[in-house]
Structure 1
């Protein structure tokens, strides 16, 4: 197998057409067609087929494509590292994030990283845990950051806990429940959450049960974070959020922490994920330096109470 053949396969799958792959690789369509034909001849199977939406991998093509992604991206990383040794400061950095992890200092780290590495092409991808796991394994991502109550396991790659964020119950500062101090006052509230499982609703119902109360009338799941923020701003909703987000983000200034005696949900932990047995590129290493500087600064701020 030749690298140009694997590149052709990757780009055809990404764009859904031979023309699209040719444009991305800055070659002619006949060159793409020739590379694909040679690859299929070598493999002895069809790797791509047409459907109404374009060109898609066959089952055999999808299997090879997983490896091709890794090979192509690893070679790009090697070329970037060699260029760095020659004084170049460009390259590409792919970072995956779970939705709430974006509040965990990544914006501050990005600003500092961009100051040091102005020419690096960066892409942030918001992904669920399964997609994040898959793209780390295929080496599509250089790094990933996820926020979870507990570690999702080491099958996702190399895992390192960076920080822990206390969670609190909050509501709109000008809402009907802003002054509530007991669960009994919150039975009529809209309890909104983003948990795709039944863990959070179960936690809320158990909390009310321990207080000898019927559960809330409405426990609403919303896994769209853009819609979630809109709902919390426009309705008298109660939800769990990190104390950091409440204090440090612009959005957080519109909410207040509820003075409840009940224990809030478990704290969120910010985890760093890197592909298993992978050597990080120089830009990836420097981005990690930036995020660790941000986290260290927040830890020092928290310890001094400032």
Structure 2
């Protein structure tokens, strides 16, 4: 396997056709076709299937794509780091963060980071596991500030616990169930969650897991916090919301926290990155800025920060 062959495979997967891949890589369609053909001959497998609507990757192609992305991404990052050190380019940094961190601490972290590295361009992603974990694996994401799960607590990732927080059940203020005080009263409720509750921290033993087991409620999944919030505000769907986010949004978005006596669930928020991939200097400094802002904010007299840290347990 050669690097230009792996790049061709990644380009085809990203663009959907050989012609578009050639345009994206400044190569000819014949060069892209030759690279893939040679790669298939070397591996003795079929990687792509040409169709009238474009190109589809086979199972072997999809499997190899993950390795190809990681290899191409790591080499690109190494080149960026060397070029940054030689003064030739600014470099980039890819960060994922859960929404409540983005709305509270992230701005101060970025401002501190930019005082020392103003030339670094930052790309942000929502810190949902469905978004961040695949990108961490293929090397297109440097750092995730997200929920700790069984997936991230493996040898594949390094994770540094930052916070622990509970969840509130939230609905619109006019919701017919707004006054309910137990999950039992919500047996006919419809839900929108921004992750699959069967595979993350909500799979642990808690009241909400038991509620799902007993009543099997209809649960819709959103891979966008903004979409989930919009649906909760405009329909009779309920959601689980981390307390810091509930504190921020409830009064602004005409929402209400249901006064449940049940202890719903808890989540641990960690700093997560691939164990096998060395952090760039920019990523290391971003981590320093993040931990510095957390520590200073804990001791702050600012009412906003005092309210924030009243709703979370800091684990640093």
Give the TM-score band, short-chain normalised. 0.7 to 0.9
Tell me the equivalent position of 1:50: 50
| SS of alignment partner, residue 145 of structure 2 | strand
TM norm structure 1: 0.74
Higher mean alpha-carbon deviation, 231-240 vs 269-278, is at 231-240
8 Å Cα contact 1:246-1:253 kept in structure 2: no
Gaps of 5+ in 2: 308-316
When residues 250 and 87 of structure 1 are mapped into structure 2, their CA distance, relative to the original with a 3 A threshold, is farther
The answer on 1:203 being equivalent to 2:201 is: no
When residues 172 and 42 of structure 1 are mapped into structure 2, their CA distance, relative to the original with a 3 A threshold, is closer
| Partner Cα distance (1:56, 1:151) in 2 | 28
When residues 128 and 163 of structure 1 are mapped into structure 2, their CA distance, relative to the original with a 3 A threshold, is closer
- Offset, 1:21: 1.6
TM norm structure 2: 0.72
- Offset, 1:293: 3.6
When residues 252 and 163 of structure 1 are mapped into structure 2, their CA distance, relative to the original with a 3 A threshold, is farther
| Partner Cα distance (1:185, 1:197) in 2 | 18
| Partner Cα distance (1:252, 1:164) in 2 | 24
The 5 Å alignment of 1:120-159 reads 120-126=120-126, 129=129, 132-147=132-147, 153-159=153-159
8 Å Cα contact 1:104-1:270 kept in structure 2: no
| SS of alignment partner, residue 279 of structure 2 | coil
| SS of alignment partner, residue 76 of structure 1 | helix
| SS of alignment partner, residue 50 of structure 1 | strand
Tell me the equivalent position of 2:311: none
Higher-Rg member (1/2): 1
8 Å Cα contact 1:247-1:253 kept in structure 2: no
Gaps of 5+ in 1: 208-214
- Offset, 1:103: 5.3
The alignment's C-alpha RMSD in Å is 4.1
- Offset, 1:245: 1.1
How many residues align? The count is 297
